[in-house]
Amino acid sequence: MHQLGTLEDLPQEYRDQLTQKNLVPLWPNMRAVLPPRVPTRKTGTLCWDYQTIRPLLLEAGQLTPMEKAERRVLVLANPGHGLSNMQATPSIYMGLQLILPGETAPNHRHTPNAVRIIVEGEGAFTTVDGEPCRMERGDLILTPAGKWHEHHHEGEGPIVWLDVLDLPLIYQLEGSWAMEGQPQVPSLARDKSFADYSAAGVVPNINFERDTQTAPMLRYPWQKTRACLVEMATHYAEGLLRISYVNPENGKSLFPSIGFGAIMLRPGEVISLPRRTTPCIFHVVEGQGSLSVDQGTALQWVEKDTLSAPGYSDITFSNTNSEAPAFLITADESPLHQYLGIY
């Protein structure tokens, strides 16, 4: 591509007139917003080390009571997007949320979609539109846009989970808002939606129309996901072991904006992921290893760490344990990219 004219090529008087009229010349900026072949990427390769974050999160529990926080969260912000913008990727927000024994994060609902990936702790549950959902290590708990949800901790010790929301997207669309509500009175059996949909290939006979844009199953237990990956490994001696979390009624992604999945790395395995347009998030449920992007410096990771990698990149994972597999949960913007026709 040939060089275009710059802003400095234009007389200052002309530029001042444009500014006064809220106008901007395109040609000096066009290469920045439409670069050749590969887009400008702000999402950096990063590892949020849980063991160094955890003391800060627990200290937040001492410094800020729940009534002063509503949601006690430390946001995992990717510096390329600006820390104050609270973005892990262009359209994904992540945060580590803490609840202490006996606490309740009060009932509210909001326009962004949210998933909770449980990091540590036992004895807590999330109530979503009247359905209590258990929260156990590695589980995915869905709180789709507009659904009432509150969190309760009846166990011992802290419970921590990773929030994953499409908040940056909804905020930029000027559609982000929240509403507080009264405490919920559970009206459904615990994990009812999981019981309804947990048998693969079988769905309940629902005699009413429902919104199929969001998944009807609210809890995706990690033990079932893990068992699926382990079973796959017995049938495939090589190649990427990867599954997707989907809406059991239509096979589509859990949300139209964020796709979720899980990866298993065989003991000692080194594998490259397919090159894709979307940046990606990885949360380590089990194991240890390294991540390198475009053959750059490898980042070391262990269980409970969370990583990010930009799109349009070659991503390589290594399981540094030669005796045990590693498992990671993934989140990316693939449904949004597919809808927009840029995937």
DSSP 160-181: EEEEEE-HHHHHHTT---EEE-
Domain 46-340: CATH superfamily is Jelly Rolls (2.60.120.10)
Residue 278 Cα distances to 38, 214, 314, 341, angstroms: 12, 21, 12, 12
Residue 131 and residue 125: Cα distance in Å, rounded? 10
Tokens 């540094």 belong to residue = 320
Identify any residues that bridge with 125 across adjacent strands, giving them in sequence order.
134, 152
User: Which two three-digit tokens encode residue 8?
Assistant: 């400095």
DSSP assignment letter at 27:
T
Q: Which of 316, 284, 333 is nearest to 48 (CA)?
A: 284
Host H or E run for residue 278: none
Q: Is the dihedral of CA 280, 284, 287, 288 positive or negative?
A: positive
pLDDT 10s digits, 152-190:
999 999 999 999 999 999 999 999 999 999 999 999 999
Angle at 231 between CA 242 and CA 203, to 5 degrees: 80
Q: Which of 259, 285, 232, 278 is nearest to 118 (CA)?
A: 285
pLDDT tens digits, the chain, 343 residues: what are they? 788 999 999 999 999 999 999 999 999 999 999 999 999 999 999 999 999 999 999 999 999 999 899 999 999 999 999 999 999 999 999 999 999 999 999 999 999 999 999 999 999 999 999 999 999 999 999 999 999 999 999 999 999 999 999 999 999 999 999 999 999 999 999 988 988 888 766 666 655 455 555 678 999 999 999 999 999 999 999 999 999 999 998 899 999 999 999 999 999 999 999 999 999 999 999 999 999 999 999 999 999 999 999 999 999 999 999 999 999 999 999 999 999 999 9
Q: Exposure of 53 by Cβ count < 10 A (0-12 exposed, 13-18 middle, 19+ buried)?
A: middle
pLDDT 10s digits, 265-305:
999 999 999 999 999 999 999 999 999 999 999 999 999 99
For 290, the 3-state DSSP assignment is strand
